[in-house]
Structure 1
Amino acid sequence: MAILTTDAIKLIVEGAIDLSPCIQVFFISTFGSNPEQTTRFRLDIFDGTDKRKATLPKKYNDYIIFEEIKIGSIIKLSEYSYPKSSKTWWIMIIRLEIVSTIHEMIGEPVSLDVDQYCQMDQATQLTPNFDIGVENLQNSGTLSQTKVLFGVKRPQSSSGVLSIITPIKNLNPFQTRWTIKVRVTIKKEIHQYNKQTRNGRVFSFDIIDREGTLTRVSGFNNMADTNYGNIDIGAMYKISGGVVKIANKIYNKLNSGIEITLVPESIVTPCEDDPSIPKNYFSFMPINEITEKSNNSIIDVIGVVICVEPSSTIRRRDGIEVIRRTIKLLDMS
């Protein structure tokens, strides 16, 4: 069992600098005055008797976001400082080690009232909403006015899927840990592919998130066999992990600019329907503007069908015969 360092807070306040104490995380919140800056996290740390606020370097943000540090975690302060100022006396954590991610609370700390806590810091309480990615706090401009509380009535995930949702538009090839919440709009059949260097099986499905961003998810070979039967059009899923890469616009003209490949570490979990996530996304354009688009563009039009001509067979330049049917529309855009 991890043991807290007795009187660690008192010794740090009195000037001890080489203590390397083990303390317990009692509370986690965000803070900051500039919404354009990276989110910063603040901890309330507890030594079994005393409790004090501490700042966490930005390099440890992922430890909070991906729940490696949470309420009850035991951490060792390998390096810290205690600069006194006229406004706040906070312990500044410089370097830490995780002793235990999950641990019952040690001792009997005084119960912390969330409303009172936020009032003391002159901030307006924000009810926790863990479907909002940390990135959105910066973009929305609310970070300077609110505190987002971590660990308070936070739903635990037994599936390994992270509870913080990242918008698809915020994904990039340099991320390795993320979770998106999406609806499936299109599902394609498994098919064989043959290339000069390899061959195998692949299937893909298109997804949309709350912001109307569309992207494509692909699974190859074992990932195709494992996931194909579990994906249904119109259903909701949380997808955690995968390889994010820039979309090849020759084959993928969806509006996100990225695509995802499932890997053995990926987790695809069904979830309850969320009415805020649309069933699809359309960007309708007038029919008379179609001629301005480049060849092979994908467009959305809306209209009333006024004539359907009989189908006919035509031969393409490459010799392949295809069936063509002409439909006349009355523009409704």
Structure 2
Amino acid sequence: MDKLQPGQLFKLCQPNPIYPSTIYLQAHQSKTLPDPNGERLRLMLNDGQYSINGIFKPSPEKPHLDNFLRYSVLEITNYEITPTAHGKVFIVIDDAKVISQGEKKSKNFEMVDKVVDITAIGGGPATDNASASKTTTNTTTTANKPKPATSSSSSSKPKHKVVDNLYSIDQLSPYQNNWTIKARVSYKGDIRTWHNQRGEGKLFNVNLLDETGEIRATGFNANVDKFYDLLQENQVYYISKCSMQMAKPKFSNLSHQYELGFDRDTVIEPVDSDDVGDVPQIHFDFVKLDQVQNLQAGAIIDVIGVLKEVHECREIVAKSTGKPFDRRDITIVDDSHFAVSIGLWNKQAKEFDLDVGTVLAIKSGKINEFNGSKSVSLMTSSMINKDPDLPEAYKLKGWFDNSGFKEDFKALKGSLDGGFDLNSKDAILSRKTIQQVNDERLGYNEKPDFFNLKATISFIKTDNFSYPACQSSDCNRKVLEQSDGTWRCEKCDKNYEKPKHRYILTISVVDTTGQLWLTLFDDHAQQLIGMTADELIAFKESDHDNKLKKFVNENISFNEFGFRIKGRLDSYQGVDRARFQVSGLSKIDYSVEADALCEVLGKVSVN
């Protein structure tokens, strides 16, 4: 701690200060942030008297601070002190090392930005006599003149384009007029049109990313024609002279409180590859395809895989609005030996034209679950990168070209318990009776109702329990027999020698309060029956119906199960009725049942 110079931060935040080539600060708080170059640290630093917000920026040469712990004392040799438009002062550290492990101080350090005039910070770079021959360190001069676009940390680096008034995204606010940002397009949406009483028009959105955050930008009408083709995903641009307004959380999931608008004065220039500097790449947090089935429906994930199948684009009509949409399904695979169906929509679906074998990195896909199978669907904020320059992509490409192209892949299944532990105490204590289901009219609401039920199977329909389905691992569509004896799938546009039968099993369940009809689709029906639909058909045909009825009565009927039920409203010939689908199934664990019952009884007071 002897290296610390109390009060030094105060001196460095004065007009026209002398910036020593080396300063010493203690990190008394830290938080690790994601960064493609390594371990970015958000720090709270002190000089023994004052404290300041800090950021350590990793680089390929120095991806992290070796031996860094809380209360470490840092020797900082390349730094920059800069105010923000929000009244804070930051020290941005490009190079530092840990020289000692300091002691915890009970003293509360005063924030330096509370005791200095941040509008007067800086005055231009300067050095002391001892460091005149060493690397100089740039700072900003005022809150309205942020850091220059280039770094002077190495005289051997090529000279880059110098841009005046270069701001970081987190500094942007309506209080600045003359600013430029250097940002990467992390997302680019389709052109959309609107028509209302005030007229009609078109718009598009992009998300812009730099090392400090992301901000949304929108172009309307003439600016769509002007900028849409210029702005490309994953490319870096200088952008200036945009309008600025408060962000609308309804239309964006970004955290920035403002958003940009492209107008007639907006200037957008591509950044030369030599000038990209520390603008981060788009960050992915990939989930292996075999793990997708373990995640909840609705989760937003990043996945990477090799394109295995491309289905035809088709038009579907939304039931709620009657509006038509274009839809295309593609299949990606990875070396976990699983295949995942990816749903594309509208322009992306119509224009998709990539070859099988292309590596696709998908950002922000949404997990869907339907009839016991899981898939991933792209949203308006999702993004596809083809053949990305990533280690994961090169590994998958090599695997697929060598052996993956000829493998058989497993399809994703939904979680058989509906993502819900049906034998947990919480699940047991939250069960409904069949009478409660009827009294509360579950399944008659606008949105589906989910509930837990313990019931005994009283009857299974064995006359019509399956349908002939497509053989493809990611397609559950019904196939039709052709005149030549083959079976055709219209979705896949293929003919198969035989179908793969899938369950639609109807059962009756009872409890002490009533009776309910339930439907089980393929995965849950297999779990209940213990064999596939094809196997059950063969079993039935081997001895007419006698063998099947005996099997059902002896092994399934009159057994008690825990069910997770999805109830939804259906209309048939103008009559509304509730339909109940099994989304989770489990045998009863009577030891847990007893514990849960004891817990309930323990809360009963006896007068």
Task: Select the structure that is richer in strand.
Answer: 2
**Bigger relative contact order, structure 1 or 2 (CA pairs below 8 A, ≥6 apart):** 1
Q: Given the two structures, how large is their TM-score scaled by the length of structure 1?
A: 0.46
